Every structure is written in C-alpha cells, then in structure tokens.
Amino acid sequence: MSSPAPDPNAGLGYSLREPVRASRVGDPRLAARTGQPDLARRAILERSRGRLVLAAAGFGLLFGAVGLKLSIATVLDPREPRRMAAREMAGVPVPDPVTGRAPITDRNGEILAVSLPVTALYANPQQIENPSEVAARLSRVLPQLDRDRLVGRLTGSRQFSYLARALTPREKQAVNDLGIAGLHFEESERRYYPQGRAAVHVLGNVDVDGSGLSGMERYHDERLRARPHDPLRTSVDIRVQLALRDAVAKAIDDYTGIGGAGVVLDINTGEVIAMVSLPDYDAGDIGAATPEQRFNRVTVGTYEPGSTFKLLTAAAALEYGTANVNTSSFNASAPIRYGRFTISDYKGKGRWLSFPEVLAYSSNLGAAHMAQGFGPQRQREFMQRMGMLSRQGIELTETALPLVPPANGWRDINMMTISFGHGISVTPLHVVTGISAVANGGILRQPTLLAQPPGVTREGTRVISERTSETMRRLMRLVVTDGSGKGADVVGYFVGGKTGTAQKTGPRGGYLPNKRIAAFVGAFPMNAPRYAIYVMVDEPNPNARSHGYATAGWVAAPAAGSVIARIAPVLGLVPENPMAPEILQAVSIGLQPGRGVPRPPAGATPAARPGVPAAANARPPAAAPAAPASAPRPAAPPAVPSLAPPVPLRVTEVLREQAVSRIRFTMAAQAATLDQAGDEAR
C-alpha cells in the first residue's frame, strides 16, 4: 500500500512556530547570546563619556586661565601692556603734549582766533622698510603731500619725522587702513582765524608748534598758554574793523594805490577799535603771505605826516601863547627862502592869513611863520610831549621808532619844515594818538588793544590845556566845513580833522615825483568827541572823478567820511540836528574871527625873521595887485560869539644860529625843497 505523500508545508510551519514557543523564549542561553554586543557598546560609551568630561574640564581650565589673564591685563592691572608699549617706543622722540592756547575775541565776544583739536601724522623712518613704496601709497590717500618730499622724510637715520600736521577724521582712517608699520598719529591743536583777513595785523600768527610769531599772538604768548580757558578780549570791534577795511580797500582801488592804512581810536580810553593795513593776507595761510602783506603800515610804517602836523603846530602856538586865534595873522604872500631852499604854498592865497585860515587853506608859509613864534627848541619839547619822538607803547611787538632830527641838529630849517609835516617821519598810530589828545581835552593816553572795563577812566598825561583843546576842536571843524577836509563831513556827526599830502622820499634822499602819501586824521562828533579816525592811501594816482588830483582832500577825506557814516550808528552815536544853535556855538569859528585880517600899515615892514632873507619878510609893494579875496563860503550859520579875550603874546626866543650846516638827517634837509611838492587840494 502506498504511503501518503509528504506535506510540503510541514517544515515551514515548524519554522514559523518555533520562535514563539514558550520553551524557546525563556531559554537563558539564548538571552546571554543575544545581550553581549550591547553590553560591550555600553562599556565603550561609558569610557568615552569619562574622557569627554576630562577633556571639557581641561579646556574649561585653559579658557578660564586665559580669561583671568585678560582680566588682569586689561582691568585689574593694566601696567604691563604700558611697559611693553614703552619698550616698543623706546628711543623714539615724542613731541611735547599740547597744553592748549586761549582764544582771542573782539570786545563783544566774537571769536577772532581759536585752537581746535587735529590729528598729526608722523613716522619713524627706522621702521619704514620701503620708503618709496610707502610714499606712493600715502600720496594716493593724501594727495596734498608731495611724493618726493615724503620719500625724503621717510628716509634716514632719524627716528621722528612729521608727515602731515592736520588730518581730517576721514584722512586719518584712510591712512590707518593702509596698515603701514612705522606710521603713527599724534593728537594736537591748530590755530584757526574765523574772520580770515580781518584784523590779521592785530592778531598776528603762530608757528606750527603753536608759539606766537607776530601780533598779539606773540606779545601775549605766555598769557595765552598759561590760561588756555580764559579768552583774551581785545578792544577791536569786528564790525568797525570790516567797515574800515572796506573803505580803505575801495580808496586804494579807486586811486590805484599800492597800499593803505586806517585806525579808529576811542579818544577817551585809547582803545583801538579798528586797525587796518593793506595789503593783508589770510591769517590761516601765513605761508602764502608776501613780506609786503605781512608789513603793518599802522605801527611799523613811518611816513612824513604832511599837513596833518599843522594841527600840532597850531596847538603848540596856542599853548605857548605865541599866537592867538582871534588876532594873529601870518604872511603867506611870498615864499620863504632859506639858503638854497624855498618854502611855498600849493595854490596859495598870496596874502596874509588869519590863524584859522592857515589851517583851513593848509598854508605851509603860515605854519612856518607860526612855528617861528616858539622856535625849534620848544617845538622839539612839544613834539616829545606829544609822543612823536618815541616808540608807541601798544601791545604789539612790531612797532617802529620815528625818524627825527637829532637834538643838536633840530635847527631853524627843521623847525619850519616839521611845522607842516616834512622832515620828520612817524607812524599813522603816532598821528592819530597825538590828534586824539588835541581833541579830547588835552590828555595823551597810550593806545591799547585790550578792552577796558566800562566806566573806568584810563590814566594819561596832560599835554595841552582844556582851553587849547576847545579852540583846536573849533579849528578842526572849520577845516572840514570850509577847508580841504570837506569830503569827510557827515551830516549830524560834526566831523573835524585835517588832511595831509606828503611826497615820499627816495632811498638816497630827495623826493620822488608823483609818489605821495594822502591822509586824513580827525575826530567826531566835535561837540562831544568820542572817536578819532585816520585813513591813509599810499601812492594814489589821479582818476577822472578827481579832475587830475590825487591829494588827501580827494582821496583820504571821502574815505574817512564813508567810514564814519557806516560805523557811527554801530557805535551807538545818534546824529544831531546839524543846525542846532547850541552845537554850532560849541564847534564853530570863523575864518576871520572877530575882525578882518590885519594889514600892515602903509610903508611898514613886518618884523624880520632871523635866518630869512629880507625879501621874504617884506610886504608886497604898494603897486602890487590887491590880494585875492577869500574863496566864497556857504551861508554862514547863526552868529557865533567870538572866543575869550586874546592871550598876550610872549616874546619869541632868540633863534640861535643863522647858518645851516650839512645835517646828517637827510630827510630834514630835503624836506624844504617844496617847489614841486603839492601839499593840499582845496
């Protein structure tokens, strides 16, 4: 009998049922066989974890040490990096630290000069490896630097060399980005002058190290360094300064002069409100200034003052009592001949002139005769009293000594020429200071550039009496209303003054043709004087408007008038009624006060003057034509009472010597050759 066929699924069913049998699951041998790999892996992981903890602790300890060191070096005890930096910079000279410099302001607090922080670039050439390459790279970021000069500064055995004095923050960053070893930065200061050219000759300049070079920067150098936070307040009013500069510059331009000067002075305190010298320069760029631009014509330039000195001659005659404004007259009908010299008038009247007419018509002859009344010795004493023989004591290092004849050479010819402003050379500051004393009541005060406390009276020296000063104010006003200074008049401000035109002398003596100084000096308002003014143009030339003249009446007087009209309101002066009787009475005087001009009786001869030929003293013969009449005047103001009774004349000193020797002071000798010298324009 055949056996049954085997079941093909029998083995498979067994295999499927085998793993799940209870006897197989609980077999400990099978469990041990299957868990051994996991335990091994676990053991390995345990060992790795310990190693990681150990490594982490090591790194933590390392970083903790580094952090602790950094904390000590930068916070707790930062001296060690300083020692290292000091060792690195050993042997490299470092400039002195900047200590600061006080600002300078005008009288109202406007800043005229101030120091601002800047960054300087310097190099240690010993640390520069390739100077040529470094110079090329620097010149690309700092194009203002010359490449060849940079190579020279980066080469050599020295250890310090400035490359640039003032870098902007952007330039500093550009240099820093180059990453060049041997280049270093230094924090410093630079002086800035916000007003540019204004008051440049007053302020002066400093050098690259901040030390004063000129002007007030030099005179007050120690004070500016010692008190860097205390501004130095000057007497200058920048508003007046700009107005004065504009007027002088316009006069120079209109008459094609080579330069000019101007001063505004408080006559009661001596404060310089404005001081101008042209040509000038930008105070922030002294390196580009020429010697002519740096020259201060106000305090260093010495010029013959011309007819402005006739005010001093008149004041001396009144003060000495040798002439009287109401009764004295002077022979201006004939030239004065002194040896080979001749003194004459420019467009003279050809007749005897009263005291006021000598000033109004600017007569050289009248001034010379007036000076003869007190003589050369007393003239020199008066000039010395007025400060004309010594240096001005102002707060500037740049001041000049006047050029005057020596004491033993001050003779008759010098006396006569100096009486009308020739044969003596002084600065414009001398002139305006002296005339301030004439107008302010007779007190001479040294000019100052420092602002004075309000209400405080500065000490001065009395040089003339109040009575003489009052008379001189009337005469100064007369020159502006009826004389050569008409161009300076400003309605309501009662300007008074005097023009002066003097020819310039050459380097070898003698006068230069068509080379002159045109100046005006005066004060305002004459009823209560507050300010003095001086305007000068050097070598003016005629133009079409001046009808061929280039004298002070055409050039300087109108410039002074324009300044006064502009600055008087700024200075707080209110114009007065020009026809107010009380003011007219205080400032007016007639050309021939109280009477007509005296004429010598028929056949009489004026008193002879020592040293002067008789022909010069003689009155014109009877047959001579009558003297020309005075120039027509505008309608006279209300009647003005004459001045106080005349002062008796004192006997004139006997003039000492009759002959003139060759004077070493060549200007005084040449000053008398005035035949071709035009003095004033009417």
Active site positions, annotated = 307
What per-residue string of b and e applies to 486-521 under the rule 16 or more CB within 10 Å gives b? bbbbbebbbbbbbbbbbbebeeeeebeeeebbbbbb
Beta pairing class for 183-192 and 232-233: unpaired
Q: What is the DSSP letter of 309?
A: G
Neighbour-count burial of 312, counting CB atoms closer than 10 A to its CB (0-12 exposed, 13-18 middle, 19+ buried): buried
The CA–CA distances, whole Å, from 644 to 441, 470, 541, 585 equal 17, 11, 44, 13
- As a whole number of angstroms, the distance between CA 486 and CA 561 comes to 9
- As a whole number of angstroms, the distance between CA 293 and CA 277 comes to 8
- As a whole number of angstroms, the distance between CA 565 and CA 3 comes to 154
Neighbour-count burial of 113, counting CB atoms closer than 10 A to its CB (0-12 exposed, 13-18 middle, 19+ buried): buried
Tell me, what amino acid is at 317?
A: A
Residue 445: other Cβ atoms inside 10 A: 22
Q: Which residue has the tokens 């004309």?
A: 388
- As a whole number of angstroms, the distance between CA 371 and CA 313 comes to 6
Confirm if 295 and 282 have CB atoms less than 8 A apart: no
| Cβ within 8 Å of residue 217, ≥6 positions away | 104, 113, 191, 203, 204, 205, 206, 224
Closest to 117 (Cα-Cα) out of 57, 168, 47: 168
The CA–CA distances, whole Å, from 342 to 609, 611, 612, 665 equal 15, 13, 10, 18
Confirm if 252 and 278 have CB atoms less than 8 A apart: yes
Q: What is the DSSP letter of 630?
A: P
Secondary structure, 3-state, 517-542: EEEEEEEECCCCCCEEEEEEEECCCC
- As a whole number of angstroms, the distance between CA 446 and CA 112 comes to 23
Confirm if 495 and 568 have CB atoms less than 8 A apart: no
- As a whole number of angstroms, the distance between CA 297 and CA 427 comes to 8
| Cβ within 8 Å of residue 484, ≥6 positions away | 307, 360, 361, 362, 499, 551, 552, 553, 557, 680, 681, 682
| Cβ within 8 Å of residue 429, ≥6 positions away | 263, 298, 299, 392, 394, 447
How distant is the alpha carbon of residue 177 from its chain centre?
42
- As a whole number of angstroms, the distance between CA 400 and CA 388 comes to 11
| Cβ within 8 Å of residue 251, ≥6 positions away | 257, 260, 535, 537, 540, 555, 556, 558, 559
Confirm if 203 and 112 have CB atoms less than 8 A apart: yes
**Residue 319 φ/ψ, nearest 5 degrees:** -70, -40
- As a whole number of angstroms, the distance between CA 284 and CA 198 comes to 11
- As a whole number of angstroms, the distance between CA 19 and CA 561 comes to 132
Confirm if 478 and 353 have CB atoms less than 8 A apart: no
